Amino acid sequence: MLDIEIQPADDSQKRPKPEDENKLVFGTVFSDHMFIMNYDEGKGWHSARIVPYHPLSLDPATMVLHYGQGIFEGLKAYRCHDGRVNLFRPGKNWERFNRSARRMCMPEIDPDFQTHALEQLLRLDVDWIPKKKGTSLYIRPTMLATEAALGVRPAKQYVYYIITSPVGPYYPEGFNPVKIYVTDKYVRAVRGGVGEAKTLGNYAASLYAAEEAKKKGYTQVLWLDGVERRYVEEVGTMNIFFRIGDELITPPLTGSILPGITRDSVIHLAKHWGIPVHERPITIGEVIEKAKTGELKECFGTGTAAVISPVGELYYKGETCVINNGTVGEWSKRFYDEIVGIQYGEKNDPFGWIHQVPIN
């Protein structure tokens, strides 16, 4: 395994910590240190180091700036009431990171080294992990193509870094239901494209529709498939679940949808609890029809940043469907409580999802 050189921040390089954990928002403040390493074709990954958080210096011809060859991950460190620090299924993030890397013609990183590098970083910035339940230290591993060249081809040089940010809820609504705008005008991804990779361009592609939705008073966009524009895919930063009658339905992973780790956890829990759960294509027509008949009892999004986010209203083609009277559903609450309980070490962890970070 690569050695990691550690250069702790001196007092002048330390950053102001947020004073009030109740006022944490998502991703605007960053901790004192970052992990960083470089890759050169023929040499592999090298120069692994933890250094004070600092801006990157990039040549204007840097390939990621032109062609978007970049990927990232998102996970969180949770502080338990007894001081332990937990990660939730980090191996899944490293697996997905390497899948994204392969799809984007980028070098992979050894998952054990990823965990090791992150643990070293968290040890140094442990005081940045907020204590209040519902807050956490959001972790953003990122890889960018750094070679300076304008030909369209995979780069020969990359940087990989991990930055961390103390966060509160992703949505200003917190755990309250969000309003979602279903668009059939724009699409996020198509089968055979890069929708299942956590790559930069997917997020850029989502902005225009998200801004339109926001102007109309909606929190996020629900995307439909790119061909027929009928099948539900995912929400801006979340996967989506519907409770129809007493069954749970979520779209299958067919290549254009991000394989969410919270999505996978909900499916696991549902099976464990004996709730029938189906990964099957579902059209927006079916969703609206079931909403009208009252069979659509709940709808919620899942994601690392958002955890479980109940959906209280769907807007589609001039119609508004209110779900569960715009209140938090029973199942949404049950999944939320279980997942959050496991993350903060308050509930049993029957599936071995928790990775405890050795802090001392």
Contact set with ligand COI (CB under 6 A): 74, 237, 303-305
Question: Can you tell me the distance from the alpha carbon of 87 to that of 96, in angstroms, rounded to the nearest whole number?
Answer: 16
Rank residues 249 and 305 by Cβ distance to ligand COI and give the closer one.
305
- Residue 105 beta carbon to ligand COI: minimum distance, rounded to whole angstroms: 21
Backbone angles phi, psi at 48, to 5 degrees: -75, 130
- 168: helix, coil or strand? coil
- Residue 74 beta carbon to ligand COI: minimum distance, rounded to whole angstroms: 2
Which residue of the chain is nearest ligand COI when measured via CB? 74
Encoding tokens for residue 112?
């054990």
Rank residues 180 and 244 by Cβ distance to ligand COI and give the closer one.
180
Question: Can you tell me the distance from the alpha carbon of 89 to that of 304, in angstroms, rounded to the nearest whole number?
Answer: 11
Rank residues 74 and 177 by Cβ distance to ligand COI and give the closer one.
74
Rank residues 62 and 165 by Cβ distance to ligand COI and give the closer one.
165
- Residue 297 beta carbon to ligand COI: minimum distance, rounded to whole angstroms: 25
Asked if 213 and 181 count as a contact pair (C-beta separation under 8 A), the reply is: yes
Rank residues 97 and 218 by Cβ distance to ligand COI and give the closer one.
97
Number of residues in the chain: 360
Encoding tokens for residue 241?
């679940």
Report CA 124 to chain centroid distance, whole Å.
24
Dihedral over Cα of 74, 25, 32, 307: its sign: negative
- Residue 12 beta carbon to ligand COI: minimum distance, rounded to whole angstroms: 31
- Residue 238 beta carbon to ligand COI: minimum distance, rounded to whole angstroms: 7
- Residue 76 beta carbon to ligand COI: minimum distance, rounded to whole angstroms: 8
DSSP structure string for 98-121: HHHHHHTT-----HHHHHHHHHHH
Encoding tokens for residue 200?
């930069």
Rank residues 9 and 77 by Cβ distance to ligand COI and give the closer one.
77
By DSSP bridging, strand 239-244 and strand 296-303 are: antiparallel
